[in-house]
Chains A and B, each alone.
Chain A
Amino acid sequence: MTSIQLGLIDYVILAIYFVFVLGIGWALKRYMKTSTDFFLSGRSIPAWITGLAFISANLGAQEVIGMGASGAKYGIATSHFYWVGAIPAMVFVGIFMMPFYYGSRARSVPEYLKLRFDEKTRGFNAISFATMTVFSSGVSMYAMGLLLGTLLGWGFNFSVMVSAFIVLIYIFLGGLTSAIYNEVLQFFLIVLGFLPLVFLGLKDAGGWAGLQQRLAMMATAQGYAPGTWTESWRFMTTPAANPMGVEWFGMVMGLGFVLSFGYWCTDFLVVQRAMAANSMSAARRTPLIAALPKMFFPFLVILPGMIAIALTYHSGVSGFALPKKMDGTFNYDLAIPMMLGHYFPSGMLGLGLTALMASFMSGMAGNVTAFNTVWTYDIYQSYIRPGRSDQHYLWMGRMATIFGIAISLAAAYVAAKFNNIMDLLQLVFAFVNAPLFATFLLGMFWRRATGHGAFSGLLLGTGAAALHHGLTTPLGSATLIKGGWLGTVLHSYPSEMAQNFWTAIFAWTICFLVTILISLATRQNRPDEELKGLVYSLTPRSKEGNLPWHKRPAMLGLLVLGMTLLLNIIFW
C-alpha cells in the first residue's frame, strides 16, 4: 500500500489542533470543583453546544471510515442508517424521553434504571455498559492505529499512544465539559476537513449526474438494476435486489426501530451530553439540534465512498482507484483515507488528517467520559465505596479516566494480536444492547412495569439474541463468529446485515413480552408518588407555551422529521 507523504505545513496544522484541544482542557481545569462539574458539566451548557457534542461523540473514526466503506459497498441505501435510523430516534429521545432522564435528576442512564426499577437492573446495565464502553473504545483505537500506522508510516504504537495521551490529558483536566467543548471544535473540523474532499471527488466524477451514470454502469455489470447505488428505497422490496441483502421490513424494524432507538435513546455516551444541558428545554432540544446537521451527514461520509467506488470502476480525470486487499477484494475501509491522500495537496492534507484524528478523538472522549461517570457513580459509589466525600468521587473520576484509557489501550493491543476476540466481544455486546430499548419504553410509559419484570426481560432478551444468532447464519458464511454455533441452522439470511437486524428484532420482542408478563405476575411495590418524574402518566407536562417556536421541542421535532421525509423522497 502506498503511504502518504506529509510535509512540514501538514504537521504544523496537526500541531495547532493539538495545542487547542489541550489548551481547552487546561483552561477548564479551574472550573472542576465538584463531581457534578466533572461528570455533568454542572448542568450548565447551552443547547447548541450539547447538540453539536451529541453528534460529535458518536462521530468516531469508525463511523467516518465505516460509513465511507458502506457507501462504496451499498451506495446511498446506507443513508437509511441516518434517515430511518438515527434521526427519528433522536427526535423521539428529545421529545418523549428527555423529560424523564433530565427531570429525574438521575446522573446517568443506569441511575435512571435504579430510580425507576431496582438495584439489580441498574447493576446489570452499569456493568455491561462500562465494560462495553472501554472495549469498544479499544477496538476503534486499534482500527485507527492500524490506519494511521500504515497510511502515514507512523507505526501503530506511535499513532495509538499519541492520540490516547492527548484525550487522557484534556479529560483529566476538564472532565465532561472539556470533552464536550472539544467535541464542538472537532465537529467543525470534521465538517470543514471533509467537505472539500466531497467537492473535489464529485467534480472528478462529473458531478451528481456523472456519478449516477458511473454507478449505474457498475450496478448493471454486477447484475443489479441501474439505480441500485443511487436510489435508497426503490430496491428494498426483496433482499436479492440490493447489495445489502435486506428487505424494507427487516430494515425499518431492525435498524430503524430496534437498533437505532436502542442506541440513541439509551446509550449513555450520547444521553450524557443532553444531561449536561443547562435547562430541561435545552436538554430536550439537544438531540433535535443535533439532528439538523446529522441528516446531511450522508453527503459528508457516505457520498465519498460512493464516489470512490464509481471512480474505481470508471476512472475520472485524475485516475483514482480503491486499493485491493491481499485476497483481491476491495479494501473499502480505505475509501475516505485514500481519497484524502489522492486529492489533497500538502496543506489541505494536513487538515484532512487532522479531521480524521479529530473524529477518532471525539469518539474516544465520548467513551471515556461515559465510562468514568458510570464507573464512579453506578459502580464505585454504589457497590465499592459508598458514602465518601464529593471530593473523593471527583478524584475517582480522574483515576477512572486514566485506567479507562489504559484498559482501552490494552484492548487495542489484544485486538491487534487476536482479531477474533474483539469480534466476539462486540457480538456479545450487541446481544446485551438489542433488548434495552424495550425496557426503557415500558419503564417510561407503563407505570405497572416492575423491577423483576425489567430485569428478567433484559436477561431473556439478551438470551434470545444469542439463541437467534446461534441458530441462523448469513448466506455463504462458515465461521462460528457469524452465527450458527448451536449446531443446527434453522434459517439462512441473505446477508450478515439482515441477520443482525433480525437478531435485534427477536431480542426486542422477547424482552418486551417477558417484561410485560413478569410485571403483571409481580407486585408493583413502588407507590405512584415515587414514580413521579420517572413515568409518563405520572409526570406533569412541562409548559413551553411562552417560548418562541424554534425553542419548542415539539415544533423543532416536526421540522426535523419533515426535512428527513423530504430527503427520503428526493433520494427515493
Chain B
Amino acid sequence: MGLDIRLPIGLMFAIAGALLAAYGLVSDPAIYQRSLGLNINLWWGAVMLIFGLTMLMLARRAHRAGRR
C-alpha cells in the first residue's frame, strides 16, 4: 500500500533521537545520577538517530529502485 512505513519510522526516530541527544548535551549532569552516571540521553539519543537515519536510507533506496 502506497506508504513506505520505513519513512515515518525513520523520521520519528531521527527526530526523537536528535532531540534526546541534544537534551543530553545541554541538561544538568546531576540528573544522570539516576542512570548510574551515564549520560543516557546523549548515548541512546545517538543510537536512535542512527537507527532512524538507517531506516530513512533504506526507504530512499527502495524508492529509487522502484522508480527505475
The digit string for B25-68, where 1 denotes a CB below 8 A from any CB of A, is: 00100011011101011001101100100000000000000000
B1 partner residues in chain A, CB cutoff 8 A: 28, 31, 37, 41-42, 44-45, 177
- Which single residue of chain A is at the shortest CB-CB distance from B34? A345
User: Is A338 part of the contact surface with B, judged by Cβ < 8 Å?
Assistant: no
| Cβ-defined contact, B16 with A13, below 8 A | yes
The digit string for B1-43, where 1 denotes a CB below 8 A from any CB of A, is: 1110100110111011001100110010001101110101100
B31 partner residues in chain A, CB cutoff 8 A: 345-346
B20 partner residues in chain A, CB cutoff 8 A: 9, 13, 347-348, 351
| Cβ-defined contact, A20 with B12, below 8 A | yes
User: Is A225 part of the contact surface with B, judged by Cβ < 8 Å?
Assistant: no
| Cβ-defined contact, B8 with A20, below 8 A | yes
Of B24, B47, B51, which is within 8 A of A347 by CB?
B24
| Cβ-defined contact, A185 with B40, below 8 A | no
A30 partner residues in chain B, CB cutoff 8 A: 2
Measured between C-beta atoms, what is the minimum distance from B11 to chain A in Å?
8
A192 partner residues in chain B, CB cutoff 8 A: 13, 44, 47-48, 51
User: Is A188 part of the contact surface with B, judged by Cβ < 8 Å?
Assistant: yes
With A12-B19, A185-B8, A348-B44: A200-B27 Cβ-Cβ less than 8 Å? no
Q: Considering the chains assembled together, what is the distance between the CA atoms of A31 and B20 in angstroms? A: 34
Q: Is the interface of A mostly helix, strand, loop or mixed?
A: helix
User: Is A17 part of the contact surface with B, judged by Cβ < 8 Å?
Assistant: yes
Instruction: Count chain A residues whose beta carbon lies closer than 8 angstroms to a beta carbon of B.
Output: 38
A45 partner residues in chain B, CB cutoff 8 A: 1
19 A-B residue pairs with Cβ-Cβ distance under 8 Å, sorted by A, are A13-B19, A13-B20, A20-B8, A24-B3, A24-B5, A27-B8, A44-B1, A181-B5, A181-B8, A184-B5, A185-B5, A185-B8, A185-B9, A188-B9, A192-B13, A192-B47, A192-B48, A345-B31, A346-B31
| Cβ-defined contact, A344 with B3, below 8 A | no
The digit string for A43-57, where 1 denotes a CB below 8 A from any CB of B, is: 011000100000000
User: Is A16 part of the contact surface with B, judged by Cβ < 8 Å?
Assistant: yes
User: Is A3 part of the contact surface with B, judged by Cβ < 8 Å?
Assistant: no
The 3 A-B pairs with the shortest beta carbon distances in the complex, nearest first, are: A347-B41, A345-B31, A20-B12
| Cβ-defined contact, A345 with B32, below 8 A | yes
B15 partner residues in chain A, CB cutoff 8 A: 16
Measured between C-beta atoms, what is the minimum distance from A135 to chain B in Å?
30
A204 partner residues in chain B, CB cutoff 8 A: 36
B12 partner residues in chain A, CB cutoff 8 A: 16-17, 20, 185
Interfacial residues of chain A within 2-42, with CB under 8 A of chain B in the complex: 9, 12-13, 16-17, 20, 23-24, 27-28, 30-31, 37, 41-42
| Cβ-defined contact, B9 with A184, below 8 A | yes
Which of B8, B31, B45, B48 counts the most A-chain CB atoms under 10 A from its CB?
Answer: B8
Which of A45, A49, A188, A347 counts the most B-chain CB atoms under 10 A from its CB?
Answer: A347
Q: Considering the chains assembled together, what is the distance between the CA atoms of A27 and B7 in angstroms? A: 12
B9 partner residues in chain A, CB cutoff 8 A: 184-185, 188
- Which single residue of chain B is at the shortest CB-CB distance from A30? B2
| Cβ-defined contact, B19 with A196, below 8 A | no
A20 partner residues in chain B, CB cutoff 8 A: 8, 11-12
Q: Considering the chains assembled together, what is the distance between the CA atoms of A184 and B13 in angstroms? A: 13
Of A13, A188, A342, A351, which is within 8 A of B34 by CB?
A342
A28 partner residues in chain B, CB cutoff 8 A: 1-3
A13 partner residues in chain B, CB cutoff 8 A: 16, 19-20
User: Is A154 part of the contact surface with B, judged by Cβ < 8 Å?
Assistant: no
B27 partner residues in chain A, CB cutoff 8 A: 345-347
Q: Considering the chains assembled together, what is the distance between the CA atoms of A318 and B35 in angstroms? A: 9
A12 partner residues in chain B, CB cutoff 8 A: 19
B13 partner residues in chain A, CB cutoff 8 A: 188, 192
Measured between C-beta atoms, what is the minimum distance from A572 to chain B in Å?
31
